[in-house]
Chains A and B, each alone.
Chain A
Amino acid sequence: MIRIEPRAQTPRAFALGIPVLSAIVALALAAIPLIFAGANPIVAYGEMFKGVFGSLFAFSEMLTRATPLMFTGLAAALAFRAKLWNIGAEGQLYLGAMAAVAIGSGVLDVSGVVLLPLIIVCGAAAGAVGMAAPTYLKVRFGADEVVTTLLLNFIILIFLQMMLEGPLQDPMSLGWPQSAPVLDHGMLPPLMERMRVHSGLILALVLAGVAQFMLARSVWGFKLRAVGENAAAARHAGINVKRSLFGVAVISGGLAGLAGVSEVAGLKGYLTADLSPGFGYTGIVVAMLAGLSPMGVVVAALFIASVFVGADSMSRAMGVSSFLADLVVSMSLLCVLIGGFLAKYRIIRSNKAGATS
């Protein structure tokens, strides 16, 4: 007879061990699809490793890919801490990106010192509105935010296409659905010469640090965790739950909006409808791998970005579909979920059937 019993205390090692183990297991499981695709897994892993650590450029590409994932990962981690299910980071990212090109591509005649902060603030605000709206529907009407944020992703993507064929379209783009470029002095400065990695990464790291501190040490963080752990108890203790939810919604949406700003004003320079290959959804995996800890998000984003960049490079070298990266990412989410179970419960074998009360 097998019994499942909650642990009185989760061993400390689990908090770090589970995500690391999950990542390793997910990578190891990727051997199955690799063999299925007719590739030698050992060679493929070697190519993936080379694709990330083989050169300074490869490594900088990985950092470039990790930057938006840190923003969307933080967006998911903070919201999930309060049990606010923001699955809409993908849409909020595009709202932020639209705001960035709307004000950054020459409409405003201001100097660089003003323009860049303005782009960042407006992008974050646009993302924040994108999450505040479904939070309002949840608080006021009881509409489940999982469904509304998911559906909003599709609405925003269609809205984006409308904008790119309308008001935001670059008159010089010869009819392509593409925005005008962000002015040079509105761009996030690059970090290394001839590399694509940009100062959006610094912004993400700073915000992760701030979030970590606020979550652990501030009254705001305490309230947020209380609401997430038991909303009824938090309300009883005099915490304004609705206000806490709106607060975290604005911050979560704002962070997702910054992912869009960072991609447009840091990397691409202009906006197209394929700016994000699912950064919003991948951010959820990043947050879960991080155990919803902001500093953990940084590490998890580096790992996931390595998987993507490594798989791309392996795909070019060996002709295996780069969808392998998505497989590894989704499997690591499922692994970390199962790992979370092992951290919370013990499985006990006993000869007698467990006594039920």
Chain B
Amino acid sequence: MMDLLTILLSESFWAASLRIATPLIFGVLGALICERAGVLNLGIEGIFVVGAMCGWMAVWLGAGLWGGILVAACAGAFFGLLHAILTVPLGLSQHVSGLGITLFATSVSYFTYRTALPSVSSPPRIEPFQPLDLPILSDLPFLGPVLFQQTALTWLALAFVALVCYVMNRTALGVALQAVGDNPNSVDAQGLSVYGLRIGAIVAGSALMALGGAFLTMSAFDAFFFGMVNGRGWVCIALVIFASWRPGKALFGALLFGAFDALQVRLQTEMGALVPGQVFLMAPYILSIIALVIAARSADYPRALLTPWFKGQR
């Protein structure tokens, strides 16, 4: 028990929690925006891969780190637009279209990577985002390492939480966005474009998802690997339900997941001799399922989620 306490009180544990949570914060916000507008985006897993590959490759080709972020966001937005066209004006199955986008985006990324770099044994590395080094703040005890020695992308993620909260709750756009996910007919009756709002939400949400992927290759690691996204996108889909489609709760969910993941890595080194390491590796996915089961009953679904809407047809 002492060991657990030591872990929970260490600054490295909390710093790792926030670091692990960062791509999930991007992903869960992106998925949340899409679903609030009434469209499930199962393309998320593939969009993570695209963001990771494109961001990394742009930097590798000399675009600079923020240039890479921009490229990743645009690539995510492109695949989001594809999903949007299939699911909004064409009203096709959101499940199948999303899975199709995941397969398509993943294979485009892998093919491009392999074509650009045929048979490299060790993947080329880039100079990733460095931890912030702020005067005074980064040197604070505890808070310094946990909050102020993260990379800029972590702060970007936190800023997006605040921005999405603000837009959702305080602006006309946010009200319209939520209405289009609950009752598209009312939005149409007010003369707003249901298609426009939904497509915009999916494109913006997908760009955010891609940033989650870009974090992996440009901050957490410094290279691109096949299979590196490893289900993070699906975890985000579970976290959105856990968060009842609220950005603040989504941040909490992502942090909780990050903390749990950081804890399992540390417990694995502590207790590796007693329990096979895989038990700990499984834990985050099991936690996601448990979170889903707990939240599902009380979940306040956007009422028009999964329901296509056609103009002039009620």
Interface centre among B111, B114, B235, B292 (most CB of A within 10 A): B111
Contact partner of A4 (CB less than 8 A), chosen from B82, B97, B310, is B310
A143 touches B289 (CB 8 A): yes
A337 touches B100 (CB 8 A): yes
Q: Give the docked Cα–Cα distance between A193 and B163 (Å).
A: 66
Residues of A within 8 A of B170 (CB): none
A330 touches B96 (CB 8 A): no
A342: nearest chain-B partner, CB-CB: B90
Given contacts A155-B282, A323-B111, contact A337 B95 (CB under 8 A): no
A154 touches B230 (CB 8 A): yes
Residues of A within 8 A of B235 (CB): 151
B92 touches A337 (CB 8 A): yes
Which B residues, 92 to 130, have Cβ-Cβ distances below 8 Å to chain A?
Answer: 92-93, 95-97, 99-101, 103-104, 106-108, 110-111, 114-115, 118
Q: Give the docked Cα–Cα distance between A3 and B311 (Å).
A: 9
Residues of B within 8 A of A323 (CB): 107, 110-111, 114
B92 touches A338 (CB 8 A): yes
Number of B residues with CB within 8 Å of any CB on chain A: 49
Contact partner of A324 (CB less than 8 A), chosen from B82, B100, B111, is B111
B288 touches A326 (CB 8 A): no
Q: Give the docked Cα–Cα distance between A322 and B142 (Å).
A: 49
Number of A residues with CB within 8 Å of any CB on chain B: 51
B100 touches A330 (CB 8 A): yes
Which A residues, 153 to 203, have Cβ-Cβ distances below 8 Å to chain B?
Answer: 153-155, 158-159, 161-162, 165-166
A337 touches B96 (CB 8 A): yes
Q: Which candidate, B19-27, B255-263, B273-281, is the interface stretch facing chain A?
A: B273-281
Interface centre among A154, A281, A285, A288 (most CB of B within 10 A): A154
Residues of B within 8 A of A161 (CB): 278
Q: Give the docked Cα–Cα distance between A148 and B281 (Å).
A: 17
A337 touches B93 (CB 8 A): yes
Identify the 6 closest CB pairs spanning chains A and B, nearest first: A326-B107, A321-B114, A330-B103, A162-B278, A356-B312, A330-B104
Check if B160 is an interface residue, CB within 8 A of chain A. no
Which A residues, 57 to 84, have Cβ-Cβ distances below 8 Å to chain B?
Answer: none
Contact partner of A137 (CB less than 8 A), chosen from B106, B241, B293, is B293
Interface centre among A36, A320, A327 (most CB of B within 10 A): A327
Check if B231 is an interface residue, CB within 8 A of chain A. yes
| Distance to closest chain A CB from B167 (angstroms) | 26
Which B residues are within 8 Å of any A CB, using their own CB? 42, 82, 86, 89-93, 95-97, 99-101, 103-104, 106-108, 110-111, 114-115, 118, 230-231, 234-235, 237-238, 241, 276, 278-279, 281-282, 285-286, 288-289, 292-293, 296-297, 299, 310-312, 314
B312 touches A150 (CB 8 A): no
| Distance to closest chain B CB from A1 (angstroms) | 11
B96 touches A288 (CB 8 A): yes
Which A residues, 130 to 156, have Cβ-Cβ distances below 8 Å to chain B?
Answer: 137, 141-144, 146-148, 150-155
B83: nearest chain-A partner, CB-CB: A334
B285 touches A155 (CB 8 A): yes
Residues of B within 8 A of A41 (CB): none
Which A residues are within 8 Å of any B CB, using their own CB? 3-4, 33, 36-37, 85, 87, 137, 141-144, 146-148, 150-155, 158-159, 161-162, 165-166, 281, 284-285, 288, 319-321, 323-324, 326-327, 329-331, 333-334, 337-338, 340-341, 354-357
Residues of B within 8 A of A324 (CB): 111
| Distance to closest chain B CB from A180 (angstroms) | 19
| Distance to closest chain A CB from B35 (angstroms) | 11
Contact partner of A319 (CB less than 8 A), chosen from B104, B118, B230, is B118
Residues of B within 8 A of A326 (CB): 103, 106-107, 110-111
Given contacts A285-B103, A338-B92, contact A321 B241 (CB under 8 A): no
A315: nearest chain-B partner, CB-CB: B114
Q: Give the docked Cα–Cα distance between A357 and B230 (Å).
A: 48
10 A-B pairs with C-beta separation under 8 A: A3-B312, A143-B293, A147-B292, A150-B237, A152-B285, A155-B286, A323-B107, A323-B110, A323-B111, A334-B101
